Structure 1
Amino acid sequence: MESISVSCEAKLERSASAGLTGHPSYDLRWLPVLERGLSHPTYLLTASSAHGQVVGRLPLALVASRLFGRFLVSLPYVNAAGVQTSDPTIARRLIDEAVLLAAELDCRYLELRQEFAVEHPALTAARTDKCLMRMPLPSTVDALWDGLKAKVRSQVRKGQRPGYDVRWGRHDQLDPFYAVFAHNMRDLGTPVFGRRLFAAILDHFGADAELCVVRDGQRPIAAALLVHGREVTEVPSASALAAYRPTNVNMLMYWHLLARAVERGSQVFDFGRSTRDGNTFQFKKQWGAEPHPSVWQYHIRHGSMDAMRPDHAGNRRLIELWKRLPVWLTRVVGPSIVRGIP
């Protein structure tokens, strides 16, 4: 191997122009998205052969705030990024450089969000309590419908009965999407990402990112973001207003999301991460999704990786307090808080 080099903004913009990858999580367009949407400095570690051929890479973003400290993550908001190579020796070299970068940036820890574990002496902790839920897709929408369980089809039909309006778009649907998303995040007790993040996704991913919004009359009641790769369509964010969930609006929306992925020619639909056997796990499983490994590995320099988890004892009271705040206030103060949480 010739070298491993650290590249910054100008090169990232050129690399990101390569476009679609098999899975959208591994698309380098996330790097300019994170720079613009969350103001995170980003880094790309690249392993090159003696002939100059790229044989591995590791994208990283610095998540920093006065409130929580500094973290080096691959990648924030994204479920799976991490080391991208099939060669264990190259993987170790990339992690060597990431460990050095974490020390140079004085980070509390390095977090690698991956689908597999990489052996490295600096990676001394891991989270495997969640899994990625993925569903193989047929080639036609009719085959998709026929492949669903009878109970799921019945729930979709129930969602269709009120006559809700389902619209697709991009920037024209951003405001209604964000209204539903922010409301749902408040109900969960989680600070909401800023609207700017989703605008950046739409800008940098172009036609490979789109929004689905379900309305009751003029009121948006459910919404989702889809990002398409060559082979996989992923739903990074989806929400429905709690008051409308008894109408099965969520089932209606997910049917449209899956059908859209089939229409795009995707082979797999990625529902995102879930805690095994939890409520969202069961929701995704009923559609036909199966669990796949999600391994988040850590090089810890200061403190603990658990301190930032929502289920940490010190955070539970803050979550309950957040749920009581008015939505407008969470939209004002939430983005500046959540951008500092890895």
Structure 2
Amino acid sequence: MSQFSEEQWDAFVRDHPLASFFHRSAWRHVASDVFGHPAHYLTEQRNGNITAVLPLMEIRSRLFGHALISTAFCVGGGPLATDTGSFEAILDRAETLGRKLRVDYIELRDLPSATRGWTARDNLYAGFERPIAPAEDDNLKQIPRKQRAVVRKALAQGLTVSIETSTQAFYGLYARTMRDHGTPALPRRYFERVLSAFGSDCEILTVSSGGRPLSSVLSYFFRDRVMPYYTGSRPEARGCGANDLMYWAVMRRAVERGCEAFDFGRSKVGTGPYDFKRNWGFEPRPITHQYRLLNSKALPNLNPTNQRYAALIGAWRRLPLGVANGLSPLLSRSLG
């Protein structure tokens, strides 16, 4: 982070209009402490003041290559700058670092444009967000009729909503869901570290029936918005509307905390989560990633829609949950 302190970095992020939760300095400790990935937090300065920042995590994997990612394990976090010159300068610094480290590529997430030499990809992910109506009735009316009926049915069934301080219930549901999707789960200590790093800006909300957790979500809060980020549920949660009630409850909780926007996060185009968010009345926003290819000739394609991984995903789904949970930490550290 050059000669600037984390407090100065976070002050710059706090004041920048395009900043996100994923620009905060604490992310460098989360990935480094849990996985051992080196953090490279670059800054540009003018007259002793920060004019640009770029958080980069270095991921080295025998399976997936060697990369600098802004920000790994997050959906955003590209460069922030006060002017065009600083923006271009920090990208040049990133490229210089990438060549020094001999990475295959540099990836900047959710960045509409970059300078010459960078390659954009905007056909893989979409984001979903919209304002939250403060009044409960108005908020319900924002939800399309079919999904609104599911929420009301769930409310009538007596499902309970709680704010959790422990990751136990959440993690059990999250790990099960990840196994069912054919993807290795992040280790529980990752979520413990996230909670300790960001405190009240993270929150776990769980929907239960008769004391038995059915669905749970870990959300991030930043400025005027809430982002439900990691979720998990039992197979029966869908039938009783627990998942829909969960998101409705997050909206109401966000209003209590003074939030005005609901950021449903990104989903891969053409997947179930993508369709689910559209069914909730959210319109997709194409998300652009920028890549600087250094020692690689092709753009990375590390996602479940890649047919190259179809057999592995199918095999992972068939693993007993205990086996999947045991193997997940070995693989998920490379899926930044």
TM over 0.5: yes
1:76 maps to 2:72 = yes
Partner Cα distance (2:29, 2:164) in 1 = 22
Partner Cα distance (1:160, 1:43) in 2 = 47
Match of 1:124 in 2: 119
Partner Cα distance (2:265, 2:139) in 1 = 19
Deviation at 1:262, TM superposition (A): 1.3
Aligned partner (choices 83, 86, 91) of residue 87 of structure 2: 91
Match of 1:46 in 2: 43
Aligned partner (choices 163, 171, 190) of residue 158 of structure 2: 163
- Contact kept in structure 2, 1:213 and 1:224, CA below 8 Å: yes
Partner Cα distance (2:316, 2:143) in 1 = 38
Deviation at 1:210, TM superposition (A): 0.7
1:281 maps to 2:278 = no
Partner Cα distance (1:77, 1:235) in 2 = 15
Partner Cα distance (2:299, 2:61) in 1 = 16
Normalised by the size of structure 1, how large is the TM-score?
A: 0.89
Could you tell me the percent identity over the aligned residues?
A: 30
Aligned partner (choices 220, 224, 245) of residue 227 of structure 1: 220
Normalised by the size of structure 2, how large is the TM-score?
A: 0.90
Match of 1:3 in 2: none
1:324 maps to 2:318 = yes
Partner Cα distance (1:151, 1:265) in 2 = 28
Deviation at 1:147, TM superposition (A): 3.2
Comparing 213-222 and 91-100, the one that deviates more? 213-222
Match of 2:192 in 1: 199
- SS of the equivalent of 1:196 reads helix
The code of the aligned residue for 1:338 comes to S
The code of the aligned residue for 2:254 comes to A
Match of 2:251 in 1: 258
- Contact kept in structure 2, 1:74 and 1:81, CA below 8 Å: yes
Deviation at 1:264, TM superposition (A): 1.1
Which string of whole-angstrom CA distances, capped at 9 and with x for unpartnered residues, describes residues 148-185 of structure 1? Answer: 33333211012223322221022x2x011000000000
Which string of whole-angstrom CA distances, capped at 9 and with x for unpartnered residues, describes residues 31-76 of structure 1? Answer: 2222223322111111111x21211111110112344332110011
- SS of the equivalent of 1:114 reads coil
Deviation at 1:341, TM superposition (A): 2.2
- Contact kept in structure 2, 1:135 and 1:270, CA below 8 Å: yes
Gaps in structure 1 of 5+ consecutive residues: 1-5
Match of 2:237 in 1: 244
- SS of the equivalent of 1:116 reads coil
Match of 2:292 in 1: 299
Deviation at 1:253, TM superposition (A): 0.5
Residue correspondences, number = 332
- Contact kept in structure 2, 1:136 and 1:269, CA below 8 Å: yes
- Contact kept in structure 2, 1:46 and 1:57, CA below 8 Å: yes
1:212 maps to 2:208 = no
Q: CA RMSD in A?
A: 2.3
Partner Cα distance (1:145, 1:307) in 2 = 38
Aligned partner (choices 294, 304, 307) of residue 310 of structure 1: 304
- Contact kept in structure 2, 1:127 and 1:296, CA below 8 Å: yes
Match of 2:130 in 1: 135
Partner Cα distance (2:233, 2:12) in 1 = 34
- Contact kept in structure 2, 1:176 and 1:220, CA below 8 Å: yes
Q: How do 1:23-38 residues align onto structure 2 when only pairs under 5 Å count?
A: 23-38=20-35
Deviation at 1:219, TM superposition (A): 2.8
- SS of the equivalent of 1:92 reads helix
Match of 1:184 in 2: 177
- Contact kept in structure 1, 2:120 and 2:288, CA below 8 Å: no
Partner Cα distance (2:70, 2:237) in 1 = 35
Deviation at 1:277, TM superposition (A): 5.5
Comparing 277-286 and 182-191, the one that deviates more? 277-286
- SS of the equivalent of 2:33 reads helix
- Contact kept in structure 2, 1:139 and 1:262, CA below 8 Å: yes
Partner Cα distance (2:14, 2:159) in 1 = 33
- Contact kept in structure 2, 1:92 and 1:120, CA below 8 Å: no
Deviation at 1:12, TM superposition (A): 4.2
1:335 maps to 2:329 = yes
